[in-house]
Structure 1
Amino acid sequence: MTEGPNDRRIDAALLDERLVRALVAEQFPEWAGLPIRRLERGGNDHRMFRLGHELVVRLPSADDYVPQVAKEQAWLPRLRSQVPLPIPEVRGAGAASAHFPAPWSVYDWIDGTPLAATRPDDPVVFAADLASFLVTLRVAETTDGPIPGLHSAFRGGPVTHWDAEMHDILDLRRELDLDDATWARGRGWAVWKALIMITNEPTEQRALARHVLDELAAGV
């Protein structure tokens, strides 16, 4: 039986310039002659490769991140006109093939320097620009947008999604005999998550978040 693209898993160790060159030549031959260079600061969920001077290739680095591809391709164009900072344009939607078992993307390259590699000239202006972007993004028109799921690591979803995992963590503490400081940091994360959820709709999510906060306050 011949193995199809969907029968294989993504191996992040194999995401290199040679693979990208094969994908581009196969699906976008008009760009096949452009130089390819991997970006060292390409993120965790995806690997990114410069394609010439004006484009960037973006590949999911694991199977769990594949659902992000279609979401980005659909929603970045919808958000571009609604926010005050540039968002890259989708230039190509790559498909799973014998070379790579998942969809992938080609975007416009937006030149700049990662914040982690520099310092803003004026931190106050930078903070104001960032706040303006976030406020605008929060009120952007997102009718029919994707609900929380694997594509977003279930961020913004009901806290019940993490119930089994949290029980495992409680069992793990007993097994590993974690010190109080480590456990306190974990409780702090739970408080942060519940505070995010407490303003969400529907009402059941707010009730669950309140329950988590009450349990933490009670010392559970």
Structure 2
Amino acid sequence: MCEKLVSQTVTIMFFSIMIKLLCCGNSAVEIRSELSSRRENLTNLLVTDRLLQIHDGVESSIHCSILCLDESPCVSFFYSPLSSACRLHSITLGKVSEIAPDNGSQYFVMQRGMGYIGDSCGNNSHCITGNSECRDGQCWCGAGYSFTPRLKTCDSNCTDGYSDQYTLYSRHFLHLNNKEEHLNVTLNQCRDLCTSTMTFTCKTFEYGYISRKCSLQEVTYLDVPGFWYEDIYYFEYDHYQRDCL
């Protein structure tokens, strides 16, 4: 099923990138090459999810791909010929919910981004990252694991700290493990509360879309697996796992 979806959304347009770097003071040469493919499903669109960098004045999609190749966390990018803008992303955008129009924009996925976090999938075998799974039609880190873009891994601990990005695990929650609770807040406010709290390390949070209740936690599924429940009664709570730096 996933292979059929990919064949419908990927243009047969591939190019290989090769970069030669002459190191100062010696004759060492580094040669890197990687395949990239254009995907038609996000043509003429702008997406900001997991945006790493924006480069202006980029002459071509090949130049943009070289910038992505040179930025370790980058696995996909948008290139706009009209504005000469190159936007680098740390995940593969298999599905997106928040988009804006951007006339002429083209979306490309590096070879290392195929089957990576965020890419479309039909089952777990389509997801290449360790501790990842196919969830809601996309590859995501499994429950309790935080996404680490710079290492391209799903990790049980963020040894270098936590970022301000989160991964959704819909319709699940950790029972009896709330460190703080906030009422009458929006999802964005709940996210900001988890990111900014200084009294403890907020690793996960849950948000109730009906009750507008925000629950902050310093544990993950891996810490308390016996308290992990699917929301089959309220149908409102989503669980968010914080990414690593």
* TM more than 0.5: no
- Indicate the structure with greater helix content: 1
TM-score, reference length from structure 2? 0.28
Largest Rg, 1 or 2? 1
TM-score, reference length from structure 1? 0.30
